[in-house]
Amino acid sequence: MAGLGIPFLPAAEAEAVSTAADPAWNLSDAAWKQRLSPAAYAVLRREGTERPFSSPLNNEKRPGTFVCAGCRLPLFSSRAKYDSGTGWPSFWQPLPNAVATKVDFKLIVPRTEYHCRRCGGHQGHVFGDGPRPTGKRYCNNGVALLFQPDKD
């Protein structure tokens, strides 16, 4: 897929992403493909990873909310965003009840993957090298998010 100009690294053929907590979001694969761009589908539904520094959201600094690109559930406040230097939008804390986690062994060593609690769409991985107060780095694929600026 890299030859198609799509800015992500495809995952090994993943089984279905995490189960949606809301049954209304248990959509068919065809419905997800119709709803999402090819890049968003590869990340949200097949657990791919976009290339670092490819997302405009990495530089987003306005006040607002980052929502799941799959179902529009609010996931992160801009107040929790910081520049991790990794090339992906990073946050030190999600909004309450926004994400769920599971252990991911795709790189052999276990990592903590997190996904949208409502639709199950893959967002990224959480690491223990973030800033205070949580010490966490929620490293998110920008293509898995949409930004909604605060209204003045």
pTM of the model: 0.86
CATH number at residue 58: 2.170.150.20
59: left (phi over 0), alpha (psi -120 to 50) or beta: alpha
- In the chain, which stretches have pLDDT less than 70? 1-17, 105-108
Catalytic annotation, pick one of 68, 71, 119, 139? 139
| pLDDT value at residue 106 | 65
Which residues form the domain of 70?
2-149
Q: Which residue in 134, 137, 29, 121 sits closest to 82, CA to CA?
A: 137
Is residue 139 among the annotated active site residues? yes
Q: What total number of domains does the chain contain?
A: 1
| pLDDT value at residue 6 | 42
E strand or H helix at 30, and its extent? helix 29-35
pLDDT one-digit tens code per residue, 93-134: 999 999 999 877 666 677 799 999 999 999 999 999 999 999
